Structure 1
Amino acid sequence: MSVHSEIKKITTETLRKMKFDKEKITMLTAYDFTTAKMVDAGGTDAILVGDSAANVMAGFETTLPITLDQMIYHTQCVVRGVNRALVVADLPFGTYQSNSEKALDSAVRMMKEGGAHAVKIEGGAEIEDSIRKIVNAGIPVMGHLGLTPQSIYQFGTYKVRAKEDAEAEKLIKDAKLLEELGCFALVLEKIPADLAKKVTESISIPTIGIGAGADCDGQVLVYHDMVGMNKDFTPKFLRRYLDLYTEITGAVAQYVKDVKEVNFPNDKESY
């Protein structure tokens, strides 16, 4: 049994303590009440209401189109289903990059209306003012470095980041800056495992990796990918724990067959 399993609520302080105690942190995404309830019951430490909702819930190609109002709605749904996990919500593209006042307004709305326990934002030195303002208002901030999907048009690719020395050095510098600014944790996405290890060892706040090797303080996956709902998404870092796409389409096909052949409902299923 985990030493934290008796804790009613996971907090940002719990995650810091887990890093100190060398206990790995687990995080999965959720975007609705029913999923959040299951993910929470399964024992994950944190739930990310990711802007990946733009992809898996709304069918967009990138995370850019999702709005703050839509993210608040998804967060409200998730929070209602959670008893234990820390709920972190992404601030979507365009809600914090332009100026720190707008960033604070966005974060306040996410906490007040969405009910999030913390917000996550992408980037390093470029968004220093925004992070400082949000943290100073007493709102917990999780950083995000490496592959930052909101900057996809700038990068032009979803390939591994920070393979070159200059980009790797900037990432380490940014990680230290995010710690100084008061971020409570940091997502590292699609960077070389040895760099992620270096970053993890050089800062005192937890790192949560996705495609960043086993030496991060924790791991995060998109729920829909982890349970195999997305048949066509097969990145190297993904481990599928179920094949729900096959299970669900099979169940639907059986239901269709039973209705067509008047096998459903039967006498026991009728009033």
Structure 2
Amino acid sequence: MSVTATTGRPTPLDIRGQKGGAPLVCLTAYTTPVAGLVDPHCDIVLVGDSLAMVVHGLPSTLQATMEMMVLHGQAVARGLSKAMMVVDLPFGAYEEGPEQAFRNAARLMRETGAAAVKLEGGTHMAETVAFLVARGVPVMGHVGLTPQAVNTLGGYKVQGRGPDAERIREDAAAVAEAGAFAVVLEKVPDALAREITAAISVPTIGIGASPDCDGQILVVDDMLGLFTEFRPKFVKRYADLGAEADRAIAAYAAEVRARTFPAPEHVFGEEPAQS
């Protein structure tokens, strides 16, 4: 039984307490209608900085801004009644230090109603995580492949293979010990993700990690087949809505050109004569 089913709208403390329990179901959302669709099924809905790519057509998550995160966070909040909302801190909004991170995290929570924020980074971000948590900002961590660091990582590569595994172990442990209520593990080997899940005291949320993580997250546009610019190995498409939309739009265009739409049932006649 999920957190949502047992406690209503979960809090960060509820999520932390789900360690080792029923897997946590997490998806991204960026608009009110999609938030309403995912809400009944999810424990956590993430307003991810991936919106820069899948909604705004930008080349990476680095182009997401605070204004984007606030706007989309407000939209998603209007579609949620059961799931807990987490909003990403975008690139450049927290790296300068704990004080900058607190100002921007407080703004996100105040203006969107988010229950928590997510930030990327391991040992070097532990001080910031602890600073935020001590001041009332629940934090979800994110280690492994951190897309905001794609330029220094040399691309969207698997992280933690071979000797690099120790770095990921240390990152996850540092963020958890600093007070994060959950840690996203992105694009790390299955065995390493299982090891970290067993080792740290807070839930792990996998994306390209392991089925043995305490939960899973995907970008909703990826799993619905709406975003087709590229398809990571870890994405399973549960629908092909992009192709279905293309068929529907093509049918509409053909009917307009053939003057078969609008049909009589779609237009209005004269007002009935008054007697």
Give the TM-score normalised by the residue count of structure 2: 0.94
Runs of 4+ aligned structure 1 residues displaced above 6 Å come to none
Q: Determine whether 1:175 maps to 2:172.
A: yes
Q: Given the alignment, which residue of 92, 106, 110 partners 1:94?
A: 92
What RMSD over aligned residues (CA atoms) do the two structures have, in Å?
Answer: 1.4
1:111-260 equivalent positions in 2, closer than 5 A: 111-165=109-163, 167-260=164-257
Report the secondary structure of 2:5's partner residue. coil
Q: Which has the higher Rg, Structure 1 or Structure 2?
A: 2
CA distance in 2, matches of 1:71, 1:3: 26
Residue 251 of structure 1 aligns to which amino acid in structure 2? A
Partner of 1:63: 61
Q: Structure 1 residue 3: deviation in Å?
A: 7.0
Quote how far apart the aligned CAs of 1:61 are: 1.2
Within-5 A mapping of 1:26-45: 26-41=25-40, 43-45=41-43
Tell me the amino acid that sits aligned with residue 85 of structure 1.
A
Distance between the aligned counterparts of 2:262 and 2:43, measured in 1? 41
2:46 corresponds to which residue? Answer: 48
**Whole-angstrom CA distance in 1 between matches of 2:61 and 2:69:** 11
Matched pairs, number: 268
What is the identity percentage for the equivalent residue pairs of Structure 1 and Structure 2?
Answer: 44
Aligned partner letter, 1:16: R
**Distance in 2 separating the partners of 1:108 and 1:15:** 20
In structure 2, C-alpha distance between the alignment counterparts of 1:203 and 1:30, rounded to whole Å: 28
> What letter is aligned with 1:51?
D
| SS of residue paired to 1:98 | coil
Q: Which runs of 5 or more structure 1 residues have no equivalent in the other structure?
A: none
TM-score, structure 1 normalization: 0.95
Matched, 1:75 2:73: yes
